[in-house]
Structure 1
């Protein structure tokens, strides 16, 4: 289908056969980049011998061996009937619900388009080494193992457009699967196989553009591998969950940094000349973040050795020397911009590598990891979605790991294995 907007097509999803696994909840996983702690990885590996983490984060002495192991595991599970491909191509309606929170969207195979086409708008920079590693896994497995989370803006109003109409009509029927994961979210999945219903969705989405909410490295990975195949089927499409944020606003949280080799005392000493710092009377990370929430201008909480310190009021001259001037003011004033350009690069001189900077979504985990290593946790504030969209629309990317959109889709409910 030729379109100036999102080009989404049905695909034959690959799903777990419920009778072959302990439970659907036991074989799912958060996205690969959320599973950062060894204890979390171990818990997923032991929850069920067929947990999808064995595909998305294969463990081996080296990366190449791990990727081959993942490919062999995927092939074996398909051969043994642990995983099975659906009979008919489908678009999948996917729902997540917890307490009063509801997110509903459509999973499909999206045509990969470069950022210059302005159809899919990334908003964060990526780390080349991560893209290279995930690309190697994609090549070896020939499968989209996890859907990216993307948001688009529908028509609003009561009907919300054809996609919303089909999604809500579909969600009134019995689902293909329903499971509740340990985070309390109930996940339900339906297959839309009727060609007329599929056309209503694809024609509606063909008028939309999307923001990459979660999965920038997977998006960059898919673009790289697609270009290697000359933009040919099936490599020129990727697995995505598209959510209409006018009907189901996404939740945005911060991603914190842990600097294991920078003690808190040293961090405060080095930043004293360019920032104001003061110790907070906070006993918990939540209390420290509450104190940070309404501080004007760029600001952070530094944590370590059981203490919380507020860092704010950066010296304007220091910012002018360290932050590039050819970007919009809204980018130059981002907490993440000041952190990476000024603090990490110019003040603390932290090398840009995984052994020196860890990115954690969970606040308590960031604080405890910093204390365990005698380092510093940098606790961040979330960015407003309006700022994210404004910058993305201008083609301006934010520093990597600036945002955490959610709720994130569970990995393992539906996969896309390449078919030629």
Structure 2
């Protein structure tokens, strides 16, 4: 994997408070969060990555994309955003409490530019399907702003922790050196940055990443959008060898310093945060499924259809959320999920208005029912849920699932069960999270999982660094 140090644009914290201008990733921002970000500061990144739309908007402009570009231009003019004086990569650590527990973890990675490869080159691998609408939106925004304001989250394997040692000075554990920048987000996650500018260290980091393959953790739509645009720009520029560096004044060798690598043209790379999947600190949360709008849904009929494929056990516990404190709701959800988490192999809980049921997979029967799916995929809980339970047992089509006509996604088990109890949903399916080993195996086998198969926590904060192409 080719990576590049870069001269980032960054907020001038002598003029703005960082906590008032950074945001969660665009696809995790609710309308209420959007308004809160708007209210926080006139320089909040929300005006760029997810601006408000108005009835007077036109395709030619003004519109949400032209306003985003105007905001960035004005912020640079006012020196709210300033370009770094020298190329760097940025050590990035996130200290957080694992949701549903009291365990504190620290996930470490680093922000850099990463070269854009087609999947066929087998350097970058995906693990989830994508949809066309989000890609079209991100492409329109990128063409208008010519700036990456958010990083995508990539995983690599480095059991020797060579990069961590170079950037953080140690292999694992909490970083003891005070960060150059620190901010706490609305979820209580502490985000810390260390700028690394020593050319010798930078070239060692580049070299250490040279033989690595990457797996996209979060950011499939943005990666595919950027890769398609890089191909388009390469054709326009007549560039046939996209691995050859161009002469960048910002990365030229100073006296006594080595030349730093640069992309062959600006669009050939995008901003990424790279995280070593062999290091501690990575958390993947489950995303539970809520089935809604089914006519004449019968719990008894569903369980009867499920019997050939699952060992079914009715549970005595139930989750509560309405009318309880956060602590009581969390305790209740953990109690409900305990039998699921204690079950080896594929299992799920079907939460219905008539009770909650633990479904333990019959591997042989399910293997026959899903014989058209690769062996690695059909061993995954989320694939069995989608391909067997949702499609075959409940009759949902792949198109309706993609369009979320009868399917909703929730992180909270207690909220999912409460919606079933209130009659807002027919049934909720509570599942275990995909493991890192499963994700690695499926991705490197060139398979893809259903959408929202993984929920990496915490999310990368947007607005810590920008990559401006112009």
Whether contact under 8 Å (2:106, 2:281) holds in the other structure is no
Look up the match of 1:3: none
Q: CA deviation at 1:204?
A: 0.7
How far apart in 2 are the matches of 1:32 and 1:110? 20
User: Match of 1:223?
Assistant: 227
Which of 379, 385, 397 is equivalent to 2:430? 379
Cα distance in structure 1, aligned partners of 2:277 and 2:72: 33
Higher mean alpha-carbon deviation, 103-112 vs 329-338, is at 329-338
CA distance in 2, matches of 1:148, 1:127: 17
Q: 1:53 aligns with which of 26, 32, 46?
A: 46
1:298 CA displacement = 4.1
Aligned counterpart, 1:183: 187
Distance 1:390 1:240 in 2: 22
Instruction: Tell whether the 8 Å contact from 2:19 to 2:183 is kept in structure 1 after alignment.
Output: yes
Could you say which residue in structure 1 is the equivalent of 2:269? 237
Describe the shift of the 1:348–1:80 C-alpha distance in structure 2 as closer, same or farther (beyond 3 A): farther
TM-score (norm 1): 0.85
Decide whether the 8 Å contact of 2:105 with 2:281 is kept in 1.
no
Q: Does 1:147 align with 2:151?
A: yes
Give me the whole-angstrom Cα distance separating, in 2, the residues matched to 1:224 and 1:372.
Answer: 45
For 1:320-339, what per-residue CA distance to the aligned partner results, in whole angstroms no more than 9, with x for missing partners?
A: 45x35251x23113222122
Counterpart for residue 97 of structure 1: 95
Q: 1:133 to 1:317 in 2, by over 3 A?
A: farther
Whether the 8 Å CA contact 2:130–2:221 is kept in 1: the answer is: yes
Distance 1:131 1:371, change over 3 A: farther
Q: Do 1:274 and 1:318's aligned partners in 2 also have CA atoms closer than 8 Å?
A: no
Distance in 2 (CA, whole Å) between partners of 1:144 and 1:363 is 35
Measured after TM superposition, the shift of residue 299 of structure 1 is 3.4
Q: Secondary structure at the match of 2:280?
A: coil
Change over 3 Å in CA distance of 1:279–1:137 after alignment to 2: farther
Q: Is 1:345 aligned with 2:391?
A: yes
CA contact (8 A) 1:16 1:24 kept: yes
**Structure 1 residue 95: deviation in Å?**
1.4
Q: How many residues align?
A: 405
**Cross-structure match for 1:268:** 299
CA deviation vs aligned residue, 1:222-245 (integer Å, no higher than 9, x gap): 222222222662111111111223
Give the superposition deviation at 1:38: 3.1
Q: What CA distance in whole angstroms lies between the structure 2 residues aligned with 1:279 and 1:333?
A: 24
Contact 2:189 2:458 in 1 (8 A): no
After TM superposition, the structure 1 = structure 2 runs for residues 67-82 of structure 1, keeping only pairs within 5 Å, are 67-82=65-80
Alpha-carbon separation, structure 2, partners of 1:353 and 1:361 = 19
Q: Could you list the runs of 5+ residues in structure 2 that have no partner in the other structure?
A: 98-103, 235-241, 243-263, 320-331
Rounded to whole Å, the distance in 1 between the matches of 2:139 and 2:418 is: 32
Question: Residues 12 and 306 of structure 1: is their aligned pair in 2 closer, same or farther, counting only changes over 3 Å?
Answer: farther
Residue 324 of structure 2 is matched in structure 1 by none
Instruction: Map 1:21-420 onto structure 2 (within 5 A).
Output: 21=16, 23-35=17-29, 37-61=30-54, 65-98=63-96, 100-156=104-160, 160-161=161-162, 163-169=163-169, 173-230=177-234, 233-262=265-294, 266=297, 268=299, 271-276=302-307, 280=315, 281-283=317-319, 284-295=332-343, 298-303=346-351, 308-313=356-361, 320-321=368-369, 323=370, 325-327=372-374, 329-346=375-392, 347-349=394-396, 351=400, 352-363=402-413, 366=416, 374-375=424-425, 376-419=427-470
Flag the 1:45–1:331 CA change in 2: closer, same or farther, 3 A.
Answer: same
Contact 1:17–1:84 (8 Å) recurs in 2? yes
Residue 15 in structure 1 maps to residue 2 in structure 2: no
Kept after mapping to 2: 8 A contact 1:274/1:314 = no
CA 1:337 to 1:198, structure 2 compared with 1: closer, same or farther past 3 Å? same
Structure ID, larger Rg: 2
Contact 1:305 1:374 in 2 (8 A): no
- Once residues 378 and 271 of structure 2 are traced to their aligned partners in structure 1, the CA distance between those partners, rounded to angstroms, is 33
State the distance in 2 between where 1:50 and 1:261 align: 42
Structure 1 runs not aligned, ≥5 long: 1-5
CA 229–373 in structure 1, closer or farther in 2 if over 3 Å, else same: farther
